[in-house]
Amino acid sequence: MDLTAIHEMLEKNGYKDDEGIANELSFQMWTDQIQETLNSKKRGGTAFRAKEFETAIECYTHFIGGMMVSPTVFARRRLCYMLCDMPQEALGDAMQAQVISPEWPTAFYLQAAALFSLGMDKDALETLKDGTDLEARKHS
């Protein structure tokens, strides 16, 4: 029960007892987490195709929460939010898709649609013009 002695022993040993097994477990846990995150994207895609929008939102949210970046997932979740009458959340995803992929005209169009649904017509028209201009530059 001598905590000072235990502290000294742990300090003296450093992290040598972690060699091998702890790193393997950490790597295994990491790869399992990555695989689960990727599986959530697949489940979201299946739900999206089946028009099960609330399930798709849950799956895509799990994917995004796993620190994965995909403008398409944000775009799909944004559409799901719109179809579930959640325009504020849709706007957030449209803006996030634009941050991730600022040269993607679709992100501007999605943001404009969300702005229109929130009654922000002036902002929507400006965003729509920005998307159209960007698309014209890409095709010239």
The superfamily CATH assigns to domain 32-138 is Tetratricopeptide repeat domain (1.25.40.10)
For residue 76, give every residue at least 6 positions away whose Cβ sits within 8 Å of its Cβ, in sequence order, or none.
44, 45, 48, 56, 60
Q: What is the pLDDT of residues 57-103, one digit of tens each?
A: 999 999 999 887 888 999 999 999 999 999 999 999 999 988 888 89
pLDDT band at 139 (very low <50, low <70, confident <90, very high): confident
CA distance 105 to 103: 6
pLDDT attached to residue 51: 95
Where along the chain do its domains lie?
32-138
